[in-house]
Structure 1
Amino acid sequence: MFHYTVETSKSLDEAVDALQTQLKEEKFGVLWDFNVKDTLQSKGFDFNTTYRILEVCNPGEAKNILEKNALASYFLPCKVVVYEQDGSTKMGMPKPTSLIGFLEDEELNDQAKDIEERMAACMDKAAQ
């Protein structure tokens, strides 16, 4: 499976706040918080599903990866989506290992695995 998703009983805003707190503990920052619903509605589109797409980055990790392969920039920063579906809040991300696997570089795969595990742990903790 190319993605990792968790469900929480928290509201969407509570989940985003909890996730940001957990990410900071792992030295990840949120560069951008894109509210899809608000943006589409401001452009005149009738869209009522709440999605927030967080662009997440750990600058040290990004620097190391980009120095090894510039094509990794196609996958950076990492995305985490927080959304409502069927009455619950979900947090998910494309797995960094799935994306970096396209570059066929074992060293980068190891780094992506570490990042993926840390980000998944952040989502797990934020969901509690």
Structure 2
Amino acid sequence: MSELMYQVPTKKSVDEAVQAVGHSLKNHQFGVLWDLDINEKLTEKGLEPEPSFRILEVCSAPRAKKALSTNQTVGYFLPCKVLVYQDRESGETRIGYAKPDALMGLLGDNRLNELAIEVDQLLKQAVDEAAQ
């Protein structure tokens, strides 16, 4: 798996996985700010839909505040994105996210390292729990 992202398969449908991930994120002090259904948007635009694909924008407000107070350019990577989608080749549902430690590492600000690792660990726990 890429150092930039983390993803796991699940036997759940995309809708079931979205619900599970929302519940699990809440248990880890994250909220879902937005649930973008890509197929809904493609259909609205008259385009052929993809296999089921959702993008959840998620945030832990206290951690976002701390990151922004340290370095405002962190805002380029906020909120965190969690993907829940059906793989077009295997048909398998997958849950994943872009790793905050990899993204924040692009800023070259070592003051963010500990927080980025903490957020990554919490997102991983939430995704792993949701995939079960």
- TM category, shorter: over 0.9
The amino acid that maps onto 1:99 is L
Count of residue pairs brought into register by the alignment: 128
Which of 109, 118, 123 is the equivalent residue of 2:122?
A: 118
Deviations 1:2-42 (A, max 9, x none): 10001000111111111111100111000000000110111
Which of 49, 57, 60 lines up with 2:59 in the alignment? Answer: 57
Alignment of 1:4-19 (within 5 A): 4-19=6-21
Matches of 1:19 and 1:42 in 2, distance apart? 26
Distance 1:39 1:119 in 2: 26
Amino acid at match of 2:92: S
Between the aligned residues of both structures, percent identity stands at: 44
Q: Following TM superposition, by how much is the alpha carbon of 1:65 offset from its aligned partner in structure 2, in angstroms?
A: 0.4
C-alpha RMSD of matched pairs (Å): 0.8
| 2:75 alignment counterpart | 73
Task: Provide the C-alpha distance between the structure 1 equivalents of 2:26 and 2:70, rounded to a whole number of angstroms.
Answer: 25
TM-score by length of 1: 0.97
Scaled by the length of structure 2, the TM-score of the pair is 0.94
Paired residue for 1:90?
94
Q: Which runs of 5+ in 1 are unaligned?
A: none
Q: Is the 8 A contact 2:70 2:111 kept in 1?
A: no
- Tell me the distance in 2 between the aligned counterparts of 1:69 and 1:62: 10
Following superposition, the deviation at residue 103 of structure 1 comes to 1.4
**2:103: which partner in 1?**
99
- TM superposition outliers: structure 1 runs of 4+ over 3 Å: none
